[in-house]
Amino acid sequence: MIPINLPASTDDLSSAIDLSVAADPELVPDAVLKNIETIINLETRHEDSLPLHQRIIEKVAASFGQPWFLYFQLIFFVTWWFGSQLIYGGLTQWHVPTFNLHEQGLDVASLLISTGVLIYQARQGTVAEERSHLTLQLNLLTEQKIAKLIALVEELRTDLPNVRDRHDSEAPEMQKTTDPQVVLNALKETLNTATTIKDENNVQASIPSLANPQTMNNEGSE
């Protein structure tokens, strides 16, 4: 089993996974190691494309789903309540807002419950991400095995004398393994092209209405 834990920042990618240590070459095929490197490169390119301000926002938002944030809230509210009791008893002269359990207890309970739910969702998201990486790994490996089987069948068909040789135009293409990076680039380009065409059509559709404001006024009056 190969542990794959892709960190949120690209600075930790090189230190997070060491293929020579985490994977035994005798147990893990070279194709699997190559697929892992491909997935890491995809994640690295995605993280590098994010602006700095978005990385900071995601880093801060991710910290809210950590258990230490819940512990910090508990310590803070308990300390605040204890300080309020000292103020009520006249044991200190601190001029700070006091904590009233009857007035603010429900708000504190809601905050603690929300943080606990966020921690649970963060853990479930981590598990789901690991499963998605495993599914992607298996899909890539299955596609490579199918391509290899097609290549072997084609070689067998041409070598056997009692099998009629015929030209199959799809066989050479099906023998090639798919590069995930090429597929991702093609998908992004197609989506960008479709978005551009849709925006142009929306602009062209709005031009007649802008050129004829009297028509719009007549439709509104009707």
Domain ranges of the chain: 10-176, 179-222
- CB contact set of 38 (below 8 Å; sequence gap of 6+): 140, 179, 180, 181
What distances in angstroms separate CA 54 from CA 8, 43, 58, 64, 129, one per listed residue?
12, 16, 6, 16, 20
Residue-wise pLDDT for 169-216, tens only, equals 777 777 777 676 676 677 677 777 877 887 777 777 777 655 555 554
What distances in angstroms separate CA 214 from CA 154, 205, 218, one per listed residue?
69, 16, 6
Residue-wise pLDDT for 24-40, tens only, equals 555 666 767 777 777 77
Is the pLDDT reported for residue 14 higher than 50? no
Residue-wise pLDDT for 113-143, tens only, equals 999 999 999 999 889 988 887 888 888 888 8
Distance of CA 114 to the CA centre of its chain: 22
Q: Is the pTM of this model over 0.85?
A: no
